[in-house]
Structure 1
Amino acid sequence: MEKLKFTFEVKPSTDGKSNYIAVTSITTQDDKVFLIPEEYQAVSLHKHIQTSKTFTTVKNTLKKRYQSRGVWIKMTEGILQTYMDEDDNMIFQDQLLEETTQEQLAIASKKCSEDPIVKILEKLVEGQQNREKQSIKKLADRFVIEKFDGKNSSAYQWMSVFEKECERFNITQDEEKIEIFRLFLEKSCNDWYSSMMIKLGLQSEWSEWKSSFLQTYASKGWTTSKYALSFKYQSGSLLEYAVKKEKLLLEVRKTIDEGTLIDIIAAGLPDFITDRINKEEIEHTKHLFNALGRLEHLVTRKKFIKKREDTKPIKEKCGICEKLKKGIRYHSEDSCWFKTKMNTEKDKKQIKLINNSELECELQCEDQKN
């Protein structure tokens, strides 16, 4: 026996909220059909089938509930030992499988499809799936993740958070992940998504989308790391600086230990701040944040003192007013009202002195001629 035909079907889980792929029957090359018991149909129990390339195609094909496909899979040593015993009897999990025929299977399937209750259930399931699609946008609003615009610090970190949020809301199907992925992209990333949709389509593997996303947007240089490490406190709130520094460092390397994280954050603080913090008391970043919150008054007071010094009134006597005997007045000489008048008088005196010098020179010359 060279190959076996396995029938796969998408079935609802016990709670009815999700689907799973089931292996319902096995057909031999001489058209003998063997049924898999209900409790052993989950494909997760059929490890050797999951590793075959054929199953990958089946997984991409079956998207809707109650869809089914029958495919031939070549016999391997693992499959042979799993589904056949030494006497060529069809078994699974040490149980003999029930044998039936193709005709009996077709009759049973027809009766089941014509059953009014089954038809009602199918309509209910279809309606539920439509409602689930409509609620995807509402579900996305509950995701705790910022949108990706291509400039986020770490594409790897962002993708990890996105996949964890999908798990939290039980979004397991590739098609659902690809569909909701679009709602968290901004700017030029939307163009990238449109291009991928043209190339791959919605009914493709999520792993292909993920791989392309990381190859496109993952930072391959040191710029992000250098910026996170060199980021220092300049002005403003100490706590805001520390929180932002922690975020930058974790985006670069999530696995950084907390002691190193504290040291790097403290390295970017002014000396007059770190001198007031006892390092032995800081075991977690929350302890550092708490300490910085208590020291906020040091940076706010410094700003207040500087502002008061800048607006300090001038206490210089005006020399012009004093010379003109206008009284003692406190203002700059440049803004004095009598400055123009004083300059005019100086110009007149200078002209008079120049004229007198010229006359004296002419008289001396005349005396010499005589």
Structure 2
Amino acid sequence: MEKLRFDFKMRGASDGKTTILCLTSIGTPDGRSFTVPDEYQPTSLHKELITSQVYGRVKNTLGKRNQFRKVWITLTENMKKAYLDEEGNLLFENFYLEEIPDKIAEISTTSTSEDTIKKLLEKVLESKEQTSEVKNLNKIAKDFMIEKFDEKTSNASQWIEQFEKECVRCVVAEDRKKIEILKFFLEKGSADWYTCMILKYSIESEWNNWKKNFIETFGNKGWSPIRYAFNFKYQSGSLLEYGLKKEKLLLQIRKSMDTETLIDLIAIGLPNYVSDKIDRGTLQETQDLYNEISKLEHLVKKNMHEKKGKPFWDNKQKKNEDKNPCEICEKANKGKRFHSESICWFREKEDKNKKIGSFKSVNNSELEVELNTEDPKN
């Protein structure tokens, strides 16, 4: 026999999670078919077969569970030794293959209605399997101990490395599954990037290509995230919540930051009346700082209470004391009024008085000059 028909099918592995390509049966040119035992079905065991170019194309064609193809392959000398004995009987690993009865083969080839039903069932099973796989991936993603990627504050290289560690921890080894799970941790701009990558490279591409593109796209080389993390200060609310958030921001930009620097940067963002109450020499870990901060929460509440309880007129009086009184109001005997002279109600009257005074001064000067120039004899 110069050629044989090899029947391939994608089936679930023993662990029930992964899908592998299997050789289910072998057919001969005279129409007979021989089944391959389950333990010999994984194509990884058929070393001579997988070197064939036809096998390479079949592998690229089949990607989903329960898909199958039947192809004819011309036998090489090594393949003949692997699948035929000296008499032309089919075997593998010195195990003779069992022939499928003619009636079963005839029914499967002549009954078009059964073929149609079979195809419909396969499509239903495939659809259910895809739905089940999506649910399974969603469940795996929930087990990941990592937050969603934030393109504004997260370090892209650091975040993707943490994602890969979670893949290892949750036993996600296939590139395809890594790519599918990644979408659960992206939103906004990064979600648009994911869609573009699907269109350009497809979900079947290598994970390393996705990782490289991710770092190149979101690797922030500017100072904005660093500036935001370093300058983040306490505004209101819980001191402990502030400390935890600042530590998170600092670790997102530099995971290797030493503990002493972390403590210093967190303490700098605290109000002075709080940080001055903490003995820096007793702090060894960030939790020591948080323990001291928790003890001083009452200082913040007291400060807020004092600000709220202070009368409004005290603030107004203090504010007024910082200004100079209006001179126009003082001259008009209106008392001390603190406002700009440009908007004073009595400014128009003051300007009018100045003009009249100036006019009188000019007339008096002219009269004096005329008197001095007259002849004294007259």
TM-score, normalising length: structure 2: 0.57
1:359 and 2:364 correspond: no
Structure 1 CA distance for aligned equivalents of residues 347 and 220 of structure 2? 67
Name the CA shift for 1:193/1:313 in 2 (closer, same or farther; >3 Å).
closer
Deviation string 1:193-244 (CA, Å, 9 cap, x unpaired) is 43x4454333x24424434324523538474785377x12456245565344
Q: Residue in 2 aligned with 1:210? A: 210
Name the CA shift for 1:244/1:299 in 2 (closer, same or farther; >3 Å).
farther
1:99 and 2:107 correspond: no
* One-letter amino acid matched to 2:337: H
Aligned-pair distance for 1:362?
Answer: 0.8
Deviation string 1:228-269 (CA, Å, 9 cap, x unpaired) is 77x124562455653443223322333445444323433555
Q: Residue in 2 aligned with 1:262? A: 263
Alignment of 1:135-174 (within 5 A): 135=135, 142=142, 145-147=147-149, 151=152, 153-163=154-164, 173-174=174-175
Aligned-pair distance for 1:129?
Answer: 1.0
Name the CA shift for 1:132/1:182 in 2 (closer, same or farther; >3 Å).
same
Q: 1:187 aligns with which of 186, 189, 208?
A: 189
Q: Residue in 2 aligned with 1:232? A: 231
Q: Residue in 1 aligned with 2:78? A: none
Aligned length: 323
Deviation string 1:138-183 (CA, Å, 9 cap, x unpaired) is 66995763256x5553222332454466678776544344345456
Q: Residue in 2 aligned with 1:350? A: 358
Q: Residue in 1 aligned with 2:318? A: 312
Aligned-pair distance for 1:366?
Answer: 0.5
Alignment of 1:91-130 (within 5 A): 99-101=95-97, 104=99, 125-130=125-130
Q: Residue in 2 aligned with 1:30? A: none
TM-score, normalising length: structure 1: 0.58
Root-mean-square deviation (CA), in Å? 5.7
Aligned-pair distance for 1:126?
Answer: 2.6
Name the CA shift for 1:268/1:337 in 2 (closer, same or farther; >3 Å).
closer
Structure 1 unaligned spans of 5+: 1-5, 28-32, 72-96
* Conservation of the 8 A alpha-carbon contact between 1:34 and 1:100: no
* Conservation of the 8 A alpha-carbon contact between 1:233 and 1:270: no
Q: Residue in 1 aligned with 2:82? A: none
* Conservation of the 8 A alpha-carbon contact between 1:320 and 1:336: yes
Structure 2 unaligned spans of 5+: 1-5, 27-33, 74-92
Aligned-pair distance for 1:363?
Answer: 1.2
Structure 2 CA distance for aligned equivalents of residues 321 and 261 of structure 1? 57
Q: Residue in 1 aligned with 2:76? A: none
Structure 2 CA distance for aligned equivalents of residues 110 and 276 of structure 1? 88
Structure 1 CA distance for aligned equivalents of residues 320 and 365 of structure 2? 43
Secondary structure at the residue paired with 1:21? Answer: strand
Q: Residue in 1 aligned with 2:253? A: 252
Secondary structure at the residue paired with 1:312? Answer: helix
Alignment of 1:26-41 (within 5 A): 38=39
Alignment of 1:273-292 (within 5 A): 273-292=274-293
* Conservation of the 8 A alpha-carbon contact between 1:136 and 1:180: no
Name the CA shift for 1:136/1:36 in 2 (closer, same or farther; >3 Å).
closer
Name the CA shift for 1:282/1:299 in 2 (closer, same or farther; >3 Å).
farther
Aligned-pair distance for 1:364?
Answer: 1.7
